[in-house]
Structure 1
Amino acid sequence: MVAPPPLHQLTYSWTDLRGDPPARWLVDWQLRPQGRGTRILLHISGFDLTDRRQKMARNALERGWNNTVLPRLADVVAEP
């Protein structure tokens, strides 16, 4: 039996049905080899920046990722 290839991408989405039209967001993680390590790419899309509430949500999400999630991810990856 041959092992499946390693996974290099995870993409997920969700929809907020309260909007008119409903808002759909997409989060995409990619792992790419770089030198002797791995680069993690994170892309979040789907925000309508002309909509004040969506722009505020996007800005809050960005602060959370930059100030909490990504630093913690670096700590977890560095653990033996």
Structure 2
Amino acid sequence: MLRLGWRDADPASPAGADWTITWTLEPEGRGTRLFLTHEGFDPGNEMQRRARSIMDGGWRHLMTGSLAAVL
């Protein structure tokens, strides 16, 4: 497991980011499955909802395309 977290440098920022990303490896059959969890989004914060939507597409692209090419 690898876990990274970060917060906005400015606590008064309207984005108010306080996020954690966790990558976890688990055995599956004869291989390994990679799980990615990006947590800490405030559903009541419009900027965070937008950020989540944008990052969701980026994570999907990374996990289904770019990562597979590297591996």
CA distance in 2, matches of 1:22, 1:64: 20
Instruction: Give the TM-score, by structure 1 length.
Output: 0.76
Q: Tell me, which stretches of 5 or more residues in structure 1 are unaligned?
A: 1-8
| Structure (1 or 2) with the larger CA radius of gyration | 1
Q: What's the RMSD between the two structures over aligned residues?
A: 1.6
CA distance in 2, matches of 1:26, 1:76: 24
Number of equivalenced pairs: 68
Ranges of 4+ aligned residues in structure 1 off by more than 4 Å: none
Larger RCO of the pair (alpha carbons < 8 Å, separation 6+):
2
Q: Does the CA contact (< 8 Å) of 1:17 and 1:23 recur in 2?
A: no
CA distance in 1, matches of 2:16, 2:46: 15
CA distance in 2, matches of 1:20, 1:55: 12
Aligned partner letter, 1:47: F
Instruction: Give the TM-score, by structure 2 length.
Output: 0.85
Q: Tell me, which stretches of 5 or more residues in structure 2 are unaligned?
A: none
Percent of matched pairs sharing the same residue: 37
